[in-house]
Amino acid sequence: MFEYGAYLIADFLSRKIPRHFAYWLSLRIADGYFFFDFRGRQAVMANLRQVMAFRGCHPTERELRLTARTTFQFFGKYLVDFFRFQRLSETDIKRLVTIEHPEYIEQAWQMGKGVIAVTAHLGNWEIGGAVLAGMGYPINVVALRQPSVKLNDFFQKHRRKRGMVVIPLGSSVKRLMGALRRKEFIALLADRDYSDYHEPTNFCGIPACMPRGASWLAAKTGAVVLPGFVLRNEDDTFLMKLYPPIIPSEGVTQESIQVRINAALEDAVGAYPHQWFMFHPVWGGLSYGEEGKSESHPLPSGKRNGERVS
């Protein structure tokens, strides 16, 4: 109940006060979480260390800590955007979002087999779905159920206001395949595996358990995979960075599709590591001291706030 009340307050403030002040307030709150959340801070730093090492950069502990703090701050801004931006009109999209290679969207759509839009907990993935809906494309997203009915309804209501059809995780496969047969878009996250079946795949130079739902669906149905990420600019506008569509054809395996998905994710996360909101260790577990024993995380990370999953 406390979480639900806190989200209601955040929702109200984000929409009622000026955007720049809402951002300022979110940064101060995020700083508090950064300093007191040992477990989340260490996980973010461990993930950043591997991403940067993969790109040939070896930051000091101080540099890692500063980048991790920025990650928490950007996540605070993401939450403001989640509550503030409801349905996006074409005018809103032109004002807030620059789309890199918009022709990739139409190219994938014209294949006529449905489109699997693959993204990550990077930048502002919620706006990505709203952009597609605002452009007139039918978009379906998978959402993790919340233990609280009120909290679950709260998040799903916000997504439906953006023109997205929400599909609960656990009942998703049949409905996702149906959406693809209707030649619609489905949106999946590619950086957090919520399934019970874990098969490591190479990611940033080291095996990691990455979700394989998108590659499986593409191989099974022939649907086009469209990797894309909505990234925050310095002026708080956004760049929708799209990658060339992955078009399944005869002889193309699920594994080869997965490799291309991972490559797009490596490129985007590597270029914007401070905007990757993964508050748990991607590459194995961490050893925590007494202050890090709690299993709860105060920030609404991917496993708690009903975000799209594969």
Residue 40, domain member (yes or no): no
Amino acid 220: pLDDT: 94
Cα separations in angstroms, 122 against 62, 71, 191, 196, 303: 23, 10, 9, 23, 14
Q: Which are the contacts of 124, defined by CB distance < 8 A and separation ≥ 6?
A: 78, 81, 230, 231, 232, 238
Residue 59, domain member (yes or no): no
Tens of pLDDT, residues 93-139: 888 999 999 999 999 999 999 999 999 999 999 889 889 988 999 99
Other C-beta atoms closer than 10 Å to the C-beta of 242 total 23
Are residues 108 and 178 in contact, defined by beta-carbon separation less than 8 angstroms? no
Amino acid 177: pLDDT: 93
What DSSP designation does 146 have? P
Residue 303, domain member (yes or no): no
Residue 157, domain member (yes or no): yes
Amino acid 240: pLDDT: 97
Are residues 229 and 125 in contact, defined by beta-carbon separation less than 8 angstroms? yes
Residue 179, domain member (yes or no): yes
Identify the segments of the chain with pLDDT beneath 70. 1-2, 87, 170-171, 285-310
Residue 154, domain member (yes or no): yes
State the total domains in the chain: 1
Amino acid 126: pLDDT: 87
Question: Given CA atoms 114, 120, 125, 131 in this order, what sign does their dihedral have?
Answer: negative
pTM for this entry: 0.87
Amino acid 171: pLDDT: 66
Residue 13, domain member (yes or no): no
Amino acid 264: pLDDT: 98
Structural domain span for residue 236: 88-292
Residue 229, domain member (yes or no): yes
Amino acid 15: pLDDT: 82
What DSSP designation does 308 have? B
